[in-house]
A and B are shown apart, each in its own frame.
Chain A
């Protein structure tokens, strides 16, 4: 069964004024539980707008959203409960830290859920472990940490609510390659261990190719593709026509195919590329012998 389902979801900002425009329109999606999904799309295509509907921060101007089969806007008073089930980490989340210590900041979400002290403590420690925060950092002020560490505290703050669906809006923006790999690796680990659904908005095709199972492509306020990574990146031409990049390896292999080399179409990570090239070289070697 799908965790999140949308029907004709449409959102128009500043409705009724001259600035009116649809940021997303007529979106019909079914997101399966337990998947790790990448969301890509050019700037302004409506990615952030879409994900803010999944936890009820934005109310659709048209259409419906179901979480676990329930229409989330049926009882608007209870929308807060949806936010505990669908956790959302905003872009540059480090700017939302406010407590005296890292520990208290991570505990903010669980406290709002009204959990018991022990449960909060357990969740905070678990979340801190997941994002790789050390014990001696827990009693520090969040404002003393480096940018990357702050980012991890913020992500832990959402993970501590233990949401069924975790959505991250460009969690690696502005981090160095090592920091990116570490954070994405930890998110992947969380996904694999806890079997939670993850939605990852990213501008990096390499990251999407490496970490996710399915990809959702947004283009001009609509969903253009939603399929397995392989299927999506085999349509590299269309993706590039939207003004998006495809993983560099994909592009190399695309031109190799165009030049008549017998390489497979579904190569989008460096590992696969290596395998494919090795196979060709072996075959090539035999042919020469």
Chain B
């Protein structure tokens, strides 16, 4: 059950998308998201959807992973859809009791839903094809200019790397502790809210104790290997842009360009 969590899940593979430079992937993903939310015409939205389908196809990520990544945001999607449907004013379509649905409202709801789905599917594609370590590495490099204003870029990315690294470990440990307490007769499944919250104590305390112990050990191990933060640190794996990154950028820019042209010349629909 706990093992089903898929935050930042990485799908190892050898597709072109897997091999792209993480910085390029992050930038292109941002570009794609901006495009999604500026598009004002069905034609442009169609281009965006096709682009995403194309990207998933060459990444060889099984399509059922899209639905898996969408599952946790279904409530948000339903909420925004309903909100848009009932509260955007315009030409009335349905006017019954307290329900007023307008043509514009329905349109906005549909477009918004498509946008959110594309947004989640697009960013999931980024995490599916990029290992967490590479991803934070790319982020660190991209945010490097912020160091000029004393923003702790390296520290933040190190924190992210460590957090991502320890999520599976902690999940496994939680499972183990739960089993150990169940073996001593702990009742985790029945009772009211308060009783259930109380039943968590025997799990949370050992979990925290061991998380702190791990943190201590990790800090010591890093210190023993002379980790001093960012100062004078070099990398084993240097990031390099390759011709594939160029091609990916060109394709994405072409797609965004098409959407811009459509936005300018085609009638504004939403």
B185 and A98: CB pair below 8 A? no
Query: Known contacts A95-B177, A95-B210, A97-B206; is A87 also within 8 Å of B187 by CB?
Result: no
The smallest beta-carbon distance between B86 and chain A, in angstroms, is: 40
CA distance A108 to B181 in the complex (A): 9
Q: Which residues of B contact A57 (CB under 8 A)?
A: 179, 182-183
Is B176 an interface residue when CB atoms closer than 8 A count as contact?
A: yes
Is B201 an interface residue when CB atoms closer than 8 A count as contact?
A: yes
Nearest chain A residue, comparing its CB with the CB of B176: A90
B183 and A98: CB pair below 8 A? no
Q: Which residues of A contact B180 (CB under 8 A)?
A: 90, 93, 95-96
B206 and A55: CB pair below 8 A? no
The smallest beta-carbon distance between B52 and chain A, in angstroms, is: 25
Q: Which residues of A contact B3 (CB under 8 A)?
A: 14
CA distance A158 to B182 in the complex (A): 11
B176 and A109: CB pair below 8 A? no
Q: Give residues 125-184 of A contacting B (CB, 8 Å).
A: 143, 157-158, 161
B182 and A157: CB pair below 8 A? no
Q: Which residues of A contact B148 (CB under 8 A)?
A: none
A108 and B184: CB pair below 8 A? yes
Chain A contact residues: helix, strand, loop or mixed: helix
The smallest beta-carbon distance between B137 and chain A, in angstroms, is: 28
1/0 contact string of A81-120 vs chain B (CB within 8 Å): 0011001111001011110000000001100110000000
A112 and B206: CB pair below 8 A? no
B201 and A98: CB pair below 8 A? yes
Is B209 an interface residue when CB atoms closer than 8 A count as contact?
A: yes
Query: Known contacts A90-B179, A98-B202; is A112 also within 8 Å of B209 by CB?
Result: no
1/0 contact string of B184-204 vs chain A (CB within 8 Å): 111100000000000001100
Is B205 an interface residue when CB atoms closer than 8 A count as contact?
A: yes
The smallest beta-carbon distance between A50 and chain B, in angstroms, is: 14
Is A237 an interface residue when CB atoms closer than 8 A count as contact?
A: no
CA distance A144 to B179 in the complex (A): 24
A109 and B209: CB pair below 8 A? no
Query: Known contacts A96-B177, A97-B206; is A83 also within 8 Å of B187 by CB?
Result: no
Number of interface residues of B (CB under 8 A): 19
Q: Which residues of A contact B185 (CB under 8 A)?
A: 80, 83-84, 109, 112-113, 161
Chain B contact residues: helix, strand, loop or mixed: helix
Q: How many A-B residue pairs have CB under 8 A?
A: 57
Is A234 an interface residue when CB atoms closer than 8 A count as contact?
A: no
Give which listed residue, B183, B184, B206, contacts A95 with CB less than 8 A. B206
Q: Give residues 37-52 of B contacting A (CB, 8 Å).
A: none
The smallest beta-carbon distance between B189 and chain A, in angstroms, is: 9
The smallest beta-carbon distance between B99 and chain A, in angstroms, is: 42
A158 and B184: CB pair below 8 A? yes
Is A52 an interface residue when CB atoms closer than 8 A count as contact?
A: yes
1/0 contact string of B205-235 vs chain A (CB within 8 Å): 1100110000000000000000000000000
Q: Which residues of B contact A83 (CB under 8 A)?
A: 182-185
The smallest beta-carbon distance between A138 and chain B, in angstroms, is: 18
CA distance A119 to B210 in the complex (A): 32
Q: Which residues of A contact B205 (CB under 8 A)?
A: 98
The smallest beta-carbon distance between A152 and chain B, in angstroms, is: 15
CA distance A206 to B100 in the complex (A): 80
The smallest beta-carbon distance between B200 and chain A, in angstroms, is: 11
CA distance A27 to B202 in the complex (A): 33
CA distance A158 to B179 in the complex (A): 13
The smallest beta-carbon distance between B178 and chain A, in angstroms, is: 9
A112 and B183: CB pair below 8 A? no
Q: Give residues 1-43 of B contacting A (CB, 8 Å).
A: 3
Nearest chain B residue, comparing its CB with the CB of A84: B185
A157 and B184: CB pair below 8 A? yes
Q: Give residues 242-287 of A contacting B (CB, 8 Å).
A: none
Q: Give residues 229-244 of B contacting A (CB, 8 Å).
A: none
Q: Which residues of A contact B179 (CB under 8 A)?
A: 52, 57, 90
The smallest beta-carbon distance between A196 and chain B, in angstroms, is: 16
Nearest chain B residue, comparing its CB with the CB of A81: B185
CA distance A286 to B209 in the complex (A): 66
Nearest chain A residue, comparing its CB with the CB of B208: A98
Binding site for A on B (CB under 8 A): 3, 173, 176-177, 179-187, 201-202, 205-206, 209-210
Instruction: Show 9 residue pairs from A and B whose CB-CB distance is below 8 angstroms, ordered by the A residue.
Output: A14-B3, A57-B183, A80-B187, A87-B183, A90-B176, A93-B180, A96-B181, A96-B184, A97-B206
Binding site for B on A (CB under 8 A): 14, 52, 55, 57, 80, 83-84, 87-90, 93, 95-98, 108-109, 112-113, 143, 157-158, 161
Q: What 4 pairs between A and B have smallest CB-CB spacing?
A: A112-B185, A98-B205, A96-B180, A109-B184
20 new A-B pairs (CB below 8 Å) besides A89-B183, A95-B209, A108-B202? Answer: A55-B183, A80-B187, A83-B183, A87-B183, A88-B183, A90-B179, A90-B183, A93-B180, A95-B173, A95-B180, A96-B180, A96-B181, A96-B184, A96-B206, A98-B205, A98-B206, A98-B209, A112-B185, A161-B184, A161-B185
